[in-house]
Each structure stands twice: as C-alpha cells, then as structure tokens.
C-alpha cells in the first residue's frame, strides 16, 4: 500500500464555536462530504464513513506543558514519544536531543533501508539551501529526518519540472515573497492533481503545509478561512486523480493552534487523523491509533506486506 502523508502544521480538533474556530465557518465541501456532513471539530471524532475515517490523536502524550512543533513532528516521524523521552515539549526547531532521535531512526530511514521509496514533496528555493550551508538556518524536524535518511530535498528545478509542490500549493509565494517572477503559478485544484501524480511514484510521499500554523499564531480569521478553503480545493483535485485501490491519504498534525484563534499559542487539543481510502485498508491503518506516536508504526505495517522482514 502506498501512502500520501499530508502534514498540516498546528491543526487541532477544537470546539464547535464559530467565534474562535475557523473550521466551523470555512466553506469546505470536500472535507464536509468526507466526514458525512460534519465539520472538522472535536465532536466529529471518531467517525467511520464510506470514504474516510477520523480519529482524535493525543498530542500531549503524558507530558505537562503545551505541545510544540519539534517534539511533535519527531514523534510522528519516529514512533517514539519524544517529549516523554527528553522530559518536555520543545520547538519550533529540533535541539540536540530531538535531532538525535530523528537521526537514529525515522520512517524515511526505515523505508529506504528496506528497499521502499519515500520523498518529501515540497520544493525548496535556492536561498534555503544557502542558509543551511552557511549555518544561518537549521533544519526543522521534517527535512532533518529526510536528509538524515539520505534522501535529497526537492529543489526549484523539481518545481519547474512538475516534480515538486510549493509550500503554498500554487507557488504564488515564490513570486510574491521570494521575488522569483518567472515561477509558474498553478491553481489549488491543479496542485492537488499534481500532488497525486507525484505521490504515485513513492511508497511514502510526504507534504508539509505550515501556513495553517502561521495563520493560527496571527489569530487572523480571514486568513484562516482562506487557507482552509484553498486546502479544500486542493483536496478536490487530489481526490479526482487518486486511486483508492492501492493508496491511502493521511492528514494529521503535530499540535493544535488554528482551531482556536482566541489565543496566539498552541493548544492542548487532540489533533485529527483523517484517513482517506478503501474501508479495509483504512481499518488496517487506523487500528490502535491513539496518539502521535502511533503514526509511524501504522505507516510501517501498511507499507510492508504482512510477514515481510524489515531491518
């Protein structure tokens, strides 16, 4: 089974309150249909439908304090309760202890060592690599996991060739923010179709979407609604080209934030695990999912045929 992992930074399952939760206001017909007419809020989970399943995942994992990006993402990628291992939640970028966990075993590493293919589908601009090389920038948890597994990050050339996706899906930000005016811009629907085509070439395709966390920290309802509605449009394009017979889509997060715009901080809300695909494959993947630490083992048992030996 192939898996597309759509990682939405800073998205929890919040209360059904349109004053603070943009998920209750946003026009998201695709998500609405997947959830049987429900909104993506706390009361919607658990849900089992014909096309999708929704579970609530514990992001606190028995550790006091507010969940953070580095420890949450490291937990998703390794299957280890990293906050418990180091004694605290930490972020946004990994410190030495978290980096050690990521380098010593993550899902990209496990797949690659056992002959499976995996890739981070985001395109990174040249200045990102320059910042890493100069030491002015350090990897966040996800690109650190990918590169430590010996997998190259995708570049501007990959974006131009249609083999990668911009962080905002359309690449408009490459023109407006990065000041690269010749970058081709696509629609959110086209981005979804392209994501399906690219992910088809890997046993695990991973896409990181961080604008959701950005909007949460800014407490910007207008921006939050625009982000959710554009994501839903992308999802429409993705599902139009997706083959449920051989693949699953997983949408999850590292901690709450966007679902509660009454605060600039993260939340202790559970995060969604939205699994899209055939019922039997969803059932196999979703069995036992209770916290962030259960995601990597679920990916492993789904990608590898039953009984296949793994190093």
Give the sign of the dihedral formed by CA 108, CA 111, CA 112, CA 117: negative
Instruction: Note the pLDDT tens digit of each residue in 218-271.
Output: 999 999 999 999 999 999 999 999 998 889 999 999 999 999 999 999 999 999
DSSP string for 20-78: T-GGGTS--HHHHHHTTT--SSGGG-SEE-SSEEEEEEBSSTT-SS---HHHHHHHHHH
pLDDT at 108 over 90: yes
pLDDT at 310 over 70: no
Averaged over 154-169, what is the pLDDT? 97
Averaged over 61-70, what is the pLDDT? 98
Q: Tokens 């993550």 appear where? A: 106
Please, which pLDDT band fits residue 201 given cuts at 50, 70 and 90? very high
Buried b (16+ CB within 10 A) or exposed e, 32-57: ebbbeebbbbbebbebebebbbbbbb
pLDDT at residue 49, as a whole number: 96
Q: What are phi and psi of 56, to 5 degrees?
A: -100, 130
What's the predicted TM-score (pTM) here?
A: 0.96
pLDDT at 169 over 80: yes
pLDDT at residue 306, as a whole number: 67
Question: What share of the chain has pLDDT > 70, as a percent?
Answer: 98
Strand pairing category for 247-252 and 204-209: unpaired
pLDDT at residue 307, as a whole number: 52
pLDDT at residue 248, as a whole number: 97
Instruction: Note the pLDDT tens digit of each residue in 15-65.
Output: 999 999 999 999 999 999 999 999 999 999 999 999 999 999 999 999 999
Q: How distant, in Å, are the alpha carbons of 17, 142, 266 from that of 69?
A: 25, 10, 9
Instruction: Note the pLDDT tens digit of each residue in 291-309.
Output: 999 999 999 999 997 656 5
pLDDT at 160 over 60: yes
Is the separation of the CB atoms in 252 and 58 below 8 Å?
no
Pick from 257, 154, 192, 201: nearest CA to 3: 201
pLDDT at residue 308, as a whole number: 61
pLDDT at residue 173, as a whole number: 96
pLDDT at 87 over 60: yes
Averaged over 109-133, what is the pLDDT? 96
What residue spans of the chain are helical by DSSP H? Answer: 29-34, 69-78, 82-86, 96-103, 107-113, 126-134, 141-148, 156-160, 172-176, 188-199, 211-218, 221-241, 279-286, 295-303
Pick from 78, 46, 81: nearest CA to 67: 81
Q: Tokens 């030996």 appear where? A: 309
What is d(CA 81, CA 88) in angstroms, rounded to the nearest whole number? 11
Is the separation of the CB atoms in 31 and 58 below 8 Å?
no
Residue 175 buriedness (CB in 10 A; 0-12 / 13-18 / 19+): middle
- The long-range contacts involving 263-269, CB below 8 angstroms and separated by at least 24 positions, are 263/219, 264/216, 264/217, 264/218, 264/219, 265/66, 266/10, 266/66, 266/67, 266/68, 267/12, 267/14, 267/66, 268/59, 268/60, 268/66, 268/67, 269/12, 269/13, 269/14, 269/42, 269/59
């Amino acid at each position: 089974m192939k898996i597309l992992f759509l990682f939405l930074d800073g998205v929890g399952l919040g209360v059904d309150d349109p004053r603070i939760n943009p998920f209750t206001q946003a026009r998201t017909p695709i998500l609405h249909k997947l959830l049987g007419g429900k909104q993506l809020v706390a009361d919607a989970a658990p849900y089992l439908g014909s096309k999708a399943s929704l579970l609530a995942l514990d992001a606190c994992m028995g550790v006091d304090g507010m969940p953070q990006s580095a420890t949450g993402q490291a937990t998703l990628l390794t299957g280890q309760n990293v906050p418990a291992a180091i004694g605290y939640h930490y972020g946004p970028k990994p410190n030495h202890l978290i980096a050690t966990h990521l380098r010593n075993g993550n899902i990209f590493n496990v797949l690659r060592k056992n002959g499976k293919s995996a890739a981070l589908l985001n395109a990174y601009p040249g200045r990102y690599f320059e910042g890493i090389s100069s030491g002015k920038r350090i990897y966040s948890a996800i690109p650190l996991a990918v590169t430590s597994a010996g997998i190259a990050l995708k570049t501007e050339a990959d974006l131009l060739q249609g083999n990668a996706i911009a962080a905002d899906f359309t690449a408009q930000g490459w023109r407006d923010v990065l000041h690269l005016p010749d970058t081709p811009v696509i629609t959110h629907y086209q981005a979804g179709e392209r994501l399906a085509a690219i992910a088809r070439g890997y046993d695990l395709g991973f896409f990181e979407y961080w604008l959701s966390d950005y909007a949460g920290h800014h407490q910007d309802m207008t921006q939050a609604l625009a982000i959710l509605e554009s994501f839903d449009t992308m999802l429409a394009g993705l599902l139009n080209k997706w083959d449920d017979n051989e693949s699953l889509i997983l949408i999850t997060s590292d901690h709450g934030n966007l679902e509660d715009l009454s605060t600039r901080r993260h939340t202790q809300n559970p995060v969604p695990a939205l699994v899209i695909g055939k019922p039997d494959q969803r059932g196999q993947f979703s069995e036992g999912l209770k916290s962030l630490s259960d995601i990597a083992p679920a990916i492993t048992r789904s990608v590898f045929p039953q009984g296949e030996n793994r190093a």
